[in-house]
Chains A and B, each alone.
Chain A
Amino acid sequence: AQTVTQSQPEMSVQEAETVTLSCTYDTSESDYYLFWYKQPPSRQMILVIRQEAYKQQNATENRFSVNFQKAAKSFSLKISDSQLGDAAMYFCAYGETSGSRLTFGEGTQLTVNP
């Protein structure tokens, strides 16, 4: 079974600074997807970024980018120019290609300080 580990239960960053959230996973598959989801206090899960394992190029979405290291099974999220609205719980998730089941990490609570 796949496992996803987020070793940072809490992180904080100053507004306008950069922060990196860590995620590692374990799988025997070669083809899969990785995701970062954001869950603000409203508890609505919001897709932040998506990465296909077969793509070597790291995904980027505006201020959000990932560092995908397939061999190391690492998938970190970098948030640049942090904004107050970025404060939320961030979940790393592993997605199977067959059946699309998601396995989530424990989450990292991000605080953005003004």
Chain B
Amino acid sequence: GAVVSQHPSWVICKSGTSVKIECRSLDFQATTMFWYRQFPKQSLMLMATSNEGSKATYEQGVEKDKFLINHASLTLSTLTVTSAHPEDSSFYICSAERVPFTDTQYFGPGTRLTVL
């Protein structure tokens, strides 16, 4: 149990376009999901916390207008990178916390974004 999927697994887009990444908890409900960014050979940096039915909470330094997060159901959160630029190229990982709370996050397989 506790499987989290992400779609797409990789995406290449042109500079200035928007890209949506989906995160789904497949076999459990998640009131809280998290979005991370990971650069090569570096650790995971939390971007935002996504709560079902409410606005996301962004970490300091993360542009909320650039990284739009929607958590419309107990099994789906989406991250939209708006007007993407080459510096947005990275590995984006989501995680979900199982309901009832277990204080343990289960991670998706990640999405590699390349902006040309």
Interface residues of A (CB under 8 A from B): 33, 35, 37, 42-47, 50, 91, 95, 97, 99-107
Do residues A100 and B110 form an inter-chain contact, with CB atoms below 8 A? no
A105 to B107 Cα, complex, angstroms: 17
Do residues A35 and B49 form an inter-chain contact, with CB atoms below 8 A? no
Decide if B43 is an interface residue (CB 8 Å cutoff). Answer: yes
Interface residues of B (CB under 8 A from A): 32, 34, 38, 42-44, 46, 49, 91, 93, 95, 97, 101, 103-107, 109-110
Do residues A95 and B103 form an inter-chain contact, with CB atoms below 8 A? yes
Partner of B104, one of A50, A99, A105, A106: A50
Partner of B105, one of A100, A106, A107: A100
Do residues A43 and B110 form an inter-chain contact, with CB atoms below 8 A? yes
Do residues B46 and A102 form an inter-chain contact, with CB atoms below 8 A? yes
- 10 A-B pairs besides A45-B44, A50-B104, A99-B49 with CB distance below 8 A are A43-B91, A44-B109, A44-B110, A45-B107, A47-B106, A91-B44, A100-B103, A101-B46, A102-B34, A102-B95
Do residues A47 and B104 form an inter-chain contact, with CB atoms below 8 A? yes
Do residues A45 and B93 form an inter-chain contact, with CB atoms below 8 A? yes
